[in-house]
Amino acid sequence: MPVSVRGIRVQPNGPGVCGRGVPAWVWASISGAALGLAFPAHPQAPLAGLHQPLWAWVGLVPLLAALRSTACRQAFRLGWIAGAVWALTTLYWVAYTEGGGPAVVGGTGLLAAYLGLFVGLFGLAQSLLLQRWGRPALLAAPVLWVSQEYLLSLGELGFPWLLLGHSQAVLPQVVQYATVTGTYGVSAWVVLLNVLVLLAGAARQRRRCRAGLVLALAVVGVVPWWHGTHAIPPTAAAGPSIRVAVVQPNTDWAHTETTETLDQTLERLATLSRQAVMAAEAPDLIVWPESAVPCYFGLRPACRKRVQSLVDEWGVPLLIGASDYDQERGEPYNAAFLLQPHHGDLQRYAKMHLVPFGERTPFRDRIGLLRQINWAALTGDLGPAEFAPGTERTVFAHPAAPFVVLICFEAVFPELARRGIQAGARLLVNITNDSWFGDSAGPYQHAQLAVMRAVENRTPMVRCASTGLSFFVDAFGRVSGGIPLGTTGVSTHTLAIGHGGTTYTRHGDWLAVLAMVISLVLVLSAWLSGRRRGER
């Protein structure tokens, strides 16, 4: 017969039913949709006004409520549903890539299903702990959640796009402690808010308990805000700085034939760059976006000579995105190059973390069969570029501020930015080509994630995108000098350079690793406790 626990009915060996006969999977879906609303949408989307980071503070409540009285065999399913709905509503724009053919649309569904597995693991672990220790086990939710986020970020299939902490990047006042904990600490804080909201709402019959929980909720919510308002200075501190110009040509390079468009592309980029050079205060560095120069820059002396002549004319160092080629491996690189005025040496960096299936087939170097697959012929519309991953981190030497480059997808990974600062960089530069994602939420989400890299390391960031969004981020996550999506322009801004990083820079994802250890201990203890009781 059904078992009732505070208004939630669970059919033994069957799906949970919450509230007044509402199936548990509905509540899981509501959680997924609410978490999707916590991430930015395109400003002209029908529901754009509803997309606010505050949804993350309560988005997990329906799922956690359903897990309180759900059998483990159903808990994984509920978590998976929540995660898949969340991913699908947030990452729908992936279907636009490569022209939006059937394989890409199908791949978007598979991506959502894959990301849902990690939330499913969270649901399974949380349900196990709840069955063993009851309501207090909800306090383990932040630890369990951070563990699944960290797992999601690892390996060639790593995709930490939907870290809950990323949703809070538009609120600099509440994320400043990321200098110690990284974005995973912000995620833990968000989950703790959800737990306290659920517990406070479930304590209706106990006034004293409810008052204590409401007070705890207020303290947990206010403390990061109080810390942030004191940590962020009202104005930039005096000290070394660098003046940078970003060029946004608003050119779609997704399907460009490099040999036919080089003249037109360089003319467009040069015209915009001259606007910055001819200003009253010239920049110390000009930045062009990912894939800006359509040629194998390291192999084509004529192409390189043309760009070098522009740099010599302006007398300003220029960072560009272009392809390179490894003749020994017979594979291209997605790369960045720094050209100095009247200087023959060329500094370069090859992208190290490539987009799975977009830029390289995962595990192709370990599984020989994968190298033989012609994805374009197999699917009809999907074919990875098969770039070779870079092997060396480059700190570009600039007289005003040494810097590292994060190419496109690399800005999503906290570890890559942190390692660059450890290696001596005092400025982060993110170059990207988001034209693949069309006029969708993709570029807005991508831009927001990049902001957290500046906060974590107390190091400013310059973001230059082919079609937008291009802007500057100071060391506290404040954005300025933006160029809107889908427009042509150039923006110049002066940034105070970083001072060598933070606690997070030095010690990395210690919180996430600690969460993993604690989660394993808790889950193992709960499982062994069940075995001693003879439970299945």
Residues marked active site are found at 290, 351, 408
C-alpha 533/C-alpha 536 separation (Å) is: 9
- At residue 392, what are phi and psi to the nearest 5 degrees? -130, 135
Angle between helices 442-457 and 183-202 (to 10 degrees): 110
Q: Contact at 8 Å (CB) between 125 and 519?
A: yes
Nearest CA among 245, 379, 372, 263 for reference residue 317: 245
CA 70/CA 127 separation, integer angstroms:
7
Which residue, among 307, 295, 313, 296, has the nearest Cα to 338 in the 3D structure?
Answer: 307
Query: If we measure between CA atoms, which residue out of 313, 314, 331, 310 comes closest to residue 265?
Result: 310
Which among 35, 139, 38, 46 has a CA at the least distance from the CA of 86?
35
How many Cα atoms sit within 13 Å of 202 on the Cβ side?
20
Token look-up 């390079």 returns: 253
HEC states along 213-261?
Answer: HHHHHHHHHHHHHHHHHHHCCCCCCCCCEEEEEEEECCCCCCCCCHHHH
